[in-house]
Structure 1
Amino acid sequence: MPAFPYSTTSTVTAVPPSLCLPVIEAAFPRQLHPYWPRLQERTRAWLLEMRLMSADKVAEYADSLCYTDLMAGYYLGAPDAVLQAIADYSAWFFVWDDRHDRDIVHRRPAAWKRLRERLHTALDAPRDHLRHEDPLIAGFADAMVRLYSFLPDSWNDRFARHFHAVIDAYDQEFHNRTEGVIPTVDDYLELRRLTFAHAIWIDLLEPSAGCELPDTVRKHPEFQRAALLSQEFAAWYNDLCSLPKEIAGDEVHNLGISLIKHEELTLEEAVAELRRRIEQCIQEFLAAERGALRVADEIDDGTVRGKEIADAVRACVANMRNWFSSVYWFHHESGRYMVDSWDDRSTPPYVNNEAAGEK
């Protein structure tokens, strides 16, 4: 099928049978924010400006990695400036993830410890780090200053709490991987909610909708369930698609790997179990989505404020749905997962494989 049914492209994306989910292709039509062409152009320029990727790697890989496609397919309805800030932050997140991976592969605990501490500090005072010597810190600070500008301090404080937890989870993953610890399935699922940053992507639904949701809405079980399921799908489908890359790289953080180690499944059985969980997650979301929309209907009480909050909830729930299709197609279009085309299956060609951080 076309990569974007509503765009001018005629590209057909082939999905391997082992990764194909007909329900996504049939029931979750893909959409794309109209700002996407400028988004791609400006994020590419931002990666260069922040020195997060070298000019040759930006030219060769930035567009094919499809980082902007992922965000432009998720945060529909976001003001252009909000989507741009989210997309730049998301691109930064992928670069950070790659630095973390290289620090593990090259056994650089001191570099990782320094980076982790700097990120915690920059998260609380990003304006103080805009000119930091490490491009990863300066780029993070730039993205955070922009993200903090859209909603009140209460949202900023919540986002910071959530991302501090993500940084700590990355530290746990660092130690697990360097020590060869494969988490149990339950431990992995708990940690994965943090390393995938479930709460962060859910938080970003609010500036996209132009409204900070009251705690009574955000913490409503129906709203929370729909939001969590959208993220669980994304994390588990990522694990399914990443399994060959991560086995090649001697990874220990993947639901499939935990199933093989602790449930004594074969690779084929682990893939089947991953698919079962993913497909169940989709079906449960369809029910949770209806419940979350009922929450919006209850809020829409005829008052101006009620309508504002209800419309924001509906926008958030619609984008939870968009996450399914955006994540699905991203994994089949992004060069990040085309491990069979790499010269070295354990070393992504788009990363800086030098000893970054050991200055």
Structure 2
Amino acid sequence: MPAFPYSTTSTVTAVPPSLCLPVIEAAFPRRLHPYWPRLQERTRAWLLEKRLMSAEKVAEYADGLCYTDLMAGYYLGAPEEVLQAVADYSAWFFVWDDRHDRDIVHRRPGAWQRLEDQLHTALDAPRDHLEHEDPLIAGFADAMVRLYAFLPGTWNDRFARHFHAVIGAYGQEFRNRTGGIIPTVDEYLELRRLTFAHAIWTDLLEPSAGVELPDSVRKHPEFRRAALLSQEFAAWYNDLCSLPKEIAGDEVHNLGISLIKHEGLTLEEAVVEVRRRVEECIQEFLGAESGALRLADEIDDGTVRGKEVAAAVRACVANMRNWFSSVYWFHHESGRYMVDSWDDRSTPPYVNNEAAGDK
């Protein structure tokens, strides 16, 4: 399968048979925002400016991690300044995820707790933290000031509420991993919706469409289901791709690991079950997508407001669809998942293994 023409990967993208999803490759065509080349360049510069990655690591790894490819394949139609803010925030999110992992690996509960507290505070008053001594807090504050500028305060409040929950979930994952606690399947699914930030990526569809959606749309069963399924696919496909690596690393947070521990499945059976759930997400999304598009038709009642909201709904649903292909190819092109090429399978080469915190 040829790599996407605008991707950082210029050779054929090989997908292992166990991870290959023909329906994605056939029915979810890859698309990319035309701003992508500048997006990649500017996010790379932002990572440097905010000291989130060293110059050496940015030069060697930033493009190959494909973080901007992921966002440029998702939020199509977004104004350039919105996509740039979203992409920078997404790059920050990956760096934060790596700091979280390093704090767990190096057993730094004090450092993690301070970071968690500071993020909660910065989320509510980002302008007060633009010059914070920790680059992770300053970079987060910068991203939030920009994201908060696009839609009314009601959207900002909702986003903040959703991200407070994500921060708290990362704290729960910290405690589970340091305590060797493998959550049950139901506990894991609930926590995963937060650690994968389902609500956040869905919220960001709105500034990309230029409209804050009314509650009657966001809470409509078909719209909510389409949004959830697009995110569940991403989270569970990530688990499918990561399962062998995470078992080898004594991880506790993976749907497959919960199935093995609490449902008595073998590794092979767990892989089959996670894949079944992934494929079921795709099929169920197609039905929910049709329902959400019917909702847009109903909203388009001939009024100016009806036309505006209906167009935004259609844009959001189209981008939910784009998430499937963007996530799928990201997992096979990003250096983040090429564990076999790392010198040390336990330590990603693009992270600062001695990140700020307790030693």
TM-score for both structures, normalised by structure 2 = 0.98
Taking structure 1 as reference, are residues 210 and 18 closer, same or farther at Cα in structure 2, changes over 3 Å only? same
Greater than 2 Å deviation, 4+ residue runs:
5-11
Contact 1:106 1:355 in 2 (8 A): no
Contact 1:244 1:339 in 2 (8 A): no
Deviation per residue, 1:312-337 (Å, 9 max, x gap): 00000000000000000000000000
What does residue 78 of structure 2 align with? 78
Deviation per residue, 1:210-260 (Å, 9 max, x gap): 000000011000100000000000000011111133223221000011011
For 2:324, the aligned partner's letter is F
Deviation per residue, 1:152-208 (Å, 9 max, x gap): 000000000000000000000000000000000000000000000000000000000
What does residue 47 of structure 1 align with? 47
**Once the 2 structures are TM-superposed, how far is the Cα of residue 39 of structure 1 from its aligned partner?**
0.3
**Once the 2 structures are TM-superposed, how far is the Cα of residue 5 of structure 1 from its aligned partner?**
5.2
Taking structure 1 as reference, are residues 9 and 249 closer, same or farther at Cα in structure 2, changes over 3 Å only? closer
What does residue 27 of structure 2 align with? 27
**Once the 2 structures are TM-superposed, how far is the Cα of residue 112 of structure 1 from its aligned partner?**
0.1
What does residue 187 of structure 1 align with? 187
**Once the 2 structures are TM-superposed, how far is the Cα of residue 357 of structure 1 from its aligned partner?**
2.2
* 1:235 to 2:246 alignment: no
What does residue 327 of structure 1 align with? 327
SS in 1 for 2:250: coil
Contact 1:65 1:336 in 2 (8 A): yes
Please give the alpha-carbon distance, in whole angstroms, between the structure 2 residues aligned to 1:232 and 1:7. 24
What does residue 269 of structure 1 align with? 269
For 1:154, the aligned partner's letter is T
Please give the alpha-carbon distance, in whole angstroms, between the structure 1 residues aligned to 2:31 and 2:349. 29
Taking structure 1 as reference, are residues 28 and 355 closer, same or farther at Cα in structure 2, changes over 3 Å only? closer
Please give the alpha-carbon distance, in whole angstroms, between the structure 1 residues aligned to 2:74 and 2:109. 35
Contact 2:46 2:88 in 1 (8 A): yes
What does residue 96 of structure 1 align with? 96
Contact 2:61 2:350 in 1 (8 A): yes
**Once the 2 structures are TM-superposed, how far is the Cα of residue 266 of structure 1 from its aligned partner?**
1.1
**Once the 2 structures are TM-superposed, how far is the Cα of residue 6 of structure 1 from its aligned partner?**
7.1
SS in 2 for 1:352: coil
What does residue 226 of structure 2 align with? 226
Taking structure 1 as reference, are residues 305 and 171 closer, same or farther at Cα in structure 2, changes over 3 Å only? same
Please give the alpha-carbon distance, in whole angstroms, between the structure 2 residues aligned to 1:265 and 1:212. 44
For 1:170, the aligned partner's letter is Y
Contact 1:162 1:200 in 2 (8 A): yes
Please give the alpha-carbon distance, in whole angstroms, between the structure 2 residues aligned to 1:76 and 1:335. 23
SS in 2 for 1:212: coil
What does residue 318 of structure 1 align with? 318
Contact 2:8 2:63 in 1 (8 A): no
Please give the alpha-carbon distance, in whole angstroms, between the structure 2 residues aligned to 1:134 and 1:222. 42
Please give the alpha-carbon distance, in whole angstroms, between the structure 1 residues aligned to 2:10 and 2:263. 43
How high is the sequence identity, in percent, across the aligned residues? 90
For 1:118, the aligned partner's letter is Q
**Once the 2 structures are TM-superposed, how far is the Cα of residue 9 of structure 1 from its aligned partner?**
7.5
Please give the alpha-carbon distance, in whole angstroms, between the structure 2 residues aligned to 1:178 and 1:10. 40
Please give the alpha-carbon distance, in whole angstroms, between the structure 2 residues aligned to 1:9 and 1:187. 37
Contact 1:79 1:208 in 2 (8 A): yes
What does residue 293 of structure 2 align with? 293
What does residue 303 of structure 1 align with? 303
Note the aligned Cα RMSD (angstroms): 1.2
Contact 1:248 1:345 in 2 (8 A): no
What does residue 281 of structure 1 align with? 281
SS in 2 for 1:182: coil
What does residue 166 of structure 1 align with? 166
Taking structure 1 as reference, are residues 352 and 9 closer, same or farther at Cα in structure 2, changes over 3 Å only? closer
What does residue 68 of structure 1 align with? 68
Unpaired stretches in structure 1, ≥5 consecutive residues:
none
TM-score for both structures, normalised by structure 1 = 0.98
Moved more, 238-247 or 329-338: 238-247
**Once the 2 structures are TM-superposed, how far is the Cα of residue 265 of structure 1 from its aligned partner?**
1.0
Moved more, 10-19 or 166-175: 10-19
Unpaired stretches in structure 2, ≥5 consecutive residues:
none
Please give the alpha-carbon distance, in whole angstroms, between the structure 2 residues aligned to 1:9 and 1:242. 21
**Once the 2 structures are TM-superposed, how far is the Cα of residue 128 of structure 1 from its aligned partner?**
0.2
Please give the alpha-carbon distance, in whole angstroms, between the structure 1 residues aligned to 2:277 and 2:113. 35
For 2:152, the aligned partner's letter is P
**Once the 2 structures are TM-superposed, how far is the Cα of residue 277 of structure 1 from its aligned partner?**
0.4
Deviation per residue, 1:101-131 (Å, 9 max, x gap): 0000000000000000000000000000000
Counting matched residue pairs gives 359
**Once the 2 structures are TM-superposed, how far is the Cα of residue 10 of structure 1 from its aligned partner?**
5.0
Please give the alpha-carbon distance, in whole angstroms, between the structure 2 residues aligned to 1:355 and 1:22. 40
Contact 1:68 1:87 in 2 (8 A): yes
Please give the alpha-carbon distance, in whole angstroms, between the structure 1 residues aligned to 2:267 and 2:244. 10
What does residue 120 of structure 2 align with? 120
SS in 1 for 2:18: coil
* 1:11 to 2:11 alignment: yes
SS in 2 for 1:253: coil
